[in-house]
Structure 1
Amino acid sequence: MLLLLWDPLPPAEAVSGNQDLITDILLRLPVKSLLRFKCVSKQWLSLISDPRFSRNYRSLASASILLCGTTELIDHVSCGRRNSEPPFTSLGFIDDSAGTKILQSCNGLMLCCSFFKMGKSCNYYICNPSTRQFLMLPPPNAKGCDESTTTLGVYLAFDPSKSPHYQVVCVRNCSSSSAAAANDHYQIEIYSSETLSWRLSGSPFSVPFDMVFDNGVFWNGTIHWISPTGASLCFDIVHEQLGEMPSLPSNEKWSKRRLRYFGESSGHLHLIEIYGSGTTQFQVFEMKKDYSSWIPKYQVDLAAIVKAFPEMVRSYPDAHDSRFCLFSILFVQENEEDSLLLLQIPGKFISYNLTHKTFKEICDFGANSTKANTSLPIGCFQAYQFIETLACV
């Protein structure tokens, strides 16, 4: 009888020869590790550099919330991340003598700009903080605008599920001597990472006198703005069309209404207004996908938080029995797992569960934490949703 002996491959060789298994393992690693592993072999370099790998990587990535005092002081609040180590703690790799600040985080890429410095123009940057890549955008070049042209807002639009390229939308007040009034001559320009250039979009347009362009939110392929008096404007980037959003169903006068939050999370557009400085009760509204109306999604009552942290209660100087609660709404985070409200109160950060009406103090930010800096004034911190990506800038 002929006896055949089978000598199985050693485990390491078995793994290295199975590209599907290698891919499955690599897709679960942080970007920092993937950048190092590109040097392992030509096979791994080719695999990690493949656009299909980048698309699959994003589909498995978990979102976190960036808590930012300055670009040199960034923490990550976990939202079920696959790795506990923060992918970055600063944006110090952007080389600008004036320093930089974050304007927007969009699907793993960030839009930043330089701080004001006498005699120096404002620079705008697109960066991928996970790969430490950044690009300084060329200045917009609107035709028909004179030296009094003012940039009112710049916004990043990046949806890797539809395109590997991103766009940047710039709103400018191109007042000219021929214009009847400054508010009759607003212009939109679009920068494309595919063409590496700016172009005009549509004709000049007018807006309400109090429209502000510093709180634009990218959602549903569209940039959205809301003015202090409730007027709204939105710009559909695909069709390059301007429109409006429906008003909130409130009977309160605008003198009593305060917009405290306007943002996007996991495909949801949220808005929070608070009526009166002393209230601890408010609703979180969500916009319907068809733009037909705002719907009340969550009812919030912070009374239990105020009771637990009485230092939130303050009084106006020289006012009789006029109290208010000091807090800042940093972020509304909504996904399949949970829905949370991230708050800053004096000296602390609070996570409020919108579904179960429970709350907890957020303490564990790791070794490079801003926890030691929670005494910074209310409003000094900003929060942004972030998800790691291999996308190039």
Structure 2
Amino acid sequence: MASSSSLPQNTITDILSRLPVKSLTRFKSVSKNWANLTSNPAFIAAHLRRSSPDPYLLIRRYHSQSGWDYGIWLITDPTLNFGTQLLRIPLEDSLPRFPKIVGSVDGLVCLDISPCYASDFLMWNPGTKQFKHLPLPLITSSRDNPIWMVFYGFGFDSFNNDYKLLRIVSFKGNDESPFLRVEVYSWREGVWKEIEERFELAQLCGGQDGVVVDGSLNWAAIGLQRFSDRKVVVSFDMGREVFKTVPLPPVTRHANVKVVSYMGLLAVAVYPLVFAASGTNMNRFEFWVLSDCEDGTKRWTNLVVIENFSKSLVPVGTWRDREVVFKYMGVRDRENQFQLCGELGASQLKKLKRR
């Protein structure tokens, strides 16, 4: 049998990309070259293309009152007789708080392990049980210039073949608009860098973690100036490292908005506000998708409208990029329960109406 040194590098890469994760973990000790190869983003992507296409669901569970009974659970398939597995977190005993999942791409999980201001991160591969503690971010809080809020997102930049972690730091300005600074961590380069790119006419709101859609990270935001009568989506192109603002349908003004990915497209789930004046609070669920038009432009298409929607159901994302995941909130007998909705049609969503 030929030795690895007599085989072309492309052949070695092709062979290794077909092996299971356990074998790759063992083969990292063969040589430094193999260890570096199997950690390369391009190799990881090739290995994933040949792996099982079935996705997994990561759920962070914790008891907010006692601080115990916490963990990250791996669910194989919630639509079938799924199995669950409790994953052990690296450095678990020394963490100041239980980590938050920033994002997961290609089996690589980004965790926020900081006590505040999203200032300490960990990259973790549950399959190989390897982790990497990232260098501390460049942008920090100070007494003279304290941080007000931090938004972040983790995704894969296919243009540069790189995994990136974005951190948007908001400082409270003298006027009503916050002052922003933005930095990006590159997995390939192993460093943080501050970028001058900014977004205007919007103030981020809602969840802190960005949603990955077609190479971009996306957050719901409150429109300012000419967008002041509606909510918008702030989108960050990971390849070009630029921001853009996408206006949302007017219906979102008096409702909660959850940005999600649906069939590779940007989508929003619109649902009732829990606390709002009865005259303006929207009491229905709507699902909008930003679709392509024949003339090359984009427009919002309304796929679903459900009247008298239950306030105890909150959309949290999509499973397999086509099934909406709802979480029960404030219902004692349904605590820690999730519900999936497959086909986005009125007949499939009737069971989600308030009874």
User: Which TM bucket (shorter chain)?
Assistant: 0.5 to 0.7
Q: Aligned-pair distance for 1:121?
A: 8.7
Larger Rg: 1
Query: When the two structures are aligned, how many residues end up with a matched partner?
Result: 307
Structure 1 distance, partners of 2:83, 2:19, is 13
SS at match of 1:183: coil
- Structure 2, unaligned stretches of length 5 or more? 1-9, 63-69, 223-229, 275-280, 329-333
Of the three residues 310, 313, 321, the one matched with 1:327 is: 313
Structure 2 distance, partners of 1:56, 1:216, is 25
Structure 2 distance, partners of 1:284, 1:234, is 19
Identity of aligned residues (%): 15
Distance 1:325 1:165, change over 3 A: closer
- Residue equivalent to 1:389: none
- Counterpart AA for 2:182: I
- Residue equivalent to 2:221: 227
Question: Would you say 1:109 and 2:108 are equivalent positions?
Answer: yes
Question: Would you say 1:56 and 2:53 are equivalent positions?
Answer: no
- Residue equivalent to 1:288: 291
Distance 1:174 1:302, change over 3 A: closer
Structure 2 distance, partners of 1:267, 1:279, is 27
- Residue equivalent to 1:343: 326
Q: Aligned-pair distance for 1:202?
A: 1.3
- Residue equivalent to 2:248: 247
- Residue equivalent to 2:225: none
Structure 2 distance, partners of 1:141, 1:27, is 39
Contact 2:17 2:43 in 1 (8 A): no
- Counterpart AA for 1:114: I
Question: Would you say 1:140 and 2:137 are equivalent positions?
Answer: yes
Q: Aligned-pair distance for 1:137?
A: 2.8
Structure 2 distance, partners of 1:210, 1:165, is 25
- Counterpart AA for 1:238: G
- Counterpart AA for 2:298: S
User: Residues 94-105 of structure 1: matches in 2 within 5 Å?
Assistant: 94=92, 95-105=94-104
Distance 1:78 1:285, change over 3 A: same
Q: Aligned-pair distance for 1:273?
A: 0.5
- Residue equivalent to 2:226: none
Structure of greater relative contact order (alpha carbons < 8 Å, 6+ residues apart): 1
Structure 2 distance, partners of 1:286, 1:208, is 21
SS at match of 2:162: coil
Structure 1 distance, partners of 2:47, 2:183, is 32
Q: Aligned-pair distance for 1:223?
A: 2.3
SS at match of 1:181: coil
Q: TM-score with structure 1 length normalisation?
A: 0.61
Structure 2 distance, partners of 1:182, 1:237, is 29
How large is the RMSD of aligned CA atoms in angstroms?
4.6
Question: Would you say 1:68 and 2:55 are equivalent positions?
Answer: no
SS at match of 1:273: strand
- Structure 1, unaligned stretches of length 5 or more? 1-18, 307-323, 362-393
SS at match of 1:158: strand
- Residue equivalent to 2:167: 170
Contact 1:246 1:291 in 2 (8 A): no
